[in-house]
Homo-oligomer: A and B are copies of this chain.
Amino acid sequence: MEAKNVTEEEARLALRTHSFRITTARVKLLLLLRRIGKPLSIQDILSHWSDAPNQATVYRMLTDLSDAGIIKRVATQSGTAHFEYTPDYPHHHHAICTDCGTIEDIQHCFVDSIQKQVIKDLETFSSIDSHSLEFFGRCNKCKI
């Protein structure tokens, strides 16, 4: 077997690391998510993917991959699930337009630095696995 490129090899490695079988569908999904670089809904994924697998399979892949932590589920305000795969930017947040859905990344995460204090103050939790921070507003285009 021969490496297509470093991007694909990285996707394969991520799958292998989590003991997933390296199926063409999963690799393609990761590459698609990475290429777009923004959180995508299931419909977004299907529309960007000409020979997409069955919808049920896409749901299953997204659930499995996000459970494993390879991809990240992003809570938009629309209610429908969005997912992103950004191995380059391991952890970041978003500004989401409540009109058109445009998403801009926020690279700097200042939550980590205070998470320890947050955990200390909690009564029913003694640890935290992850957090989600999204900013909502109308982007410059929609604001006109």
Tell me the A residues contacting B by CB distance below 8 Å.
73, 75-77, 79, 81, 95, 97-98, 102, 104, 106, 108, 110-111, 114-115, 118, 121-141, 143
Contact = CB atoms under 8 A, between A and B. Distances in A.
A129 B132 CA distance: 17
15 contacts: A75-B77, A79-B81, A95-B125, A98-B129, A118-B135, A124-B140, A126-B143, A127-B137, A127-B138, A127-B143, A129-B138, A130-B136, A131-B134, A132-B132, A132-B134
A118 B125 CA distance: 29
A139 B76 CA distance: 24
Nearest to A106: B118
